[in-house]
Amino acid sequence: MSDTWLYDEHPAMFRAHPFLFLLLLVSVVGILAIGVWWVMHKGERLALSDREVLLERGLLAKQRTEIALSSIRSVRITQTLGQRLFGVGHVELFSAGDIAEIAIKNMPRPDRIRAIAASRNLDLLPQR
């Protein structure tokens, strides 16, 4: 018997099934990406009470911004067509000046945020 092999290979795995390989690669990477995405979104919170607005960012280190609801002068909501269909949007809250004190992306039901701010500001207007 000859010890010199003219051909010595294992069956091709990736080249034989490239679409299966890509599907598996995307699914594994996709699951990891969704996990990271979920953790990042759980690190942001916008809360409105009857007196104040609170924005919290961070899981381990926290950044908190609080604004009295009565001091909010305008609310800007930006939505693309897809965001309008799914009921989400970017929200910016202004109290004074041209720079938003609170700005957060992809908030569900942004019109409710505007309605809460508007109803609170209507209470402060002088009655005729």
* Cα separation values, 113 from 7, 20, 49, 120, Å: 69, 45, 11, 11
- Partner residues linked to 52 by β-bridges: 68
Query: What is the Cα–Cα distance from 104 to 92, expressed in whole angstroms?
Result: 7
AA letter at 94: F
Could you give the dihedral angle defined by the CA atoms of residues 50, 44, 59 and 70, in that order, rounded to the nearest 10 degrees?
Answer: -30
Digit-coded pLDDT (tens) for 23-70: 888 888 888 888 888 888 888 888 888 888 888 888 889 999 999 888
Condensed to tens digits (0 to 9), the pLDDT of residues 71-92 reads: 888 899 999 998 899 988 899 9
User: How far is 65 from 23, CA to CA, in rounded Å?
Assistant: 42
pTM over 0.85: no
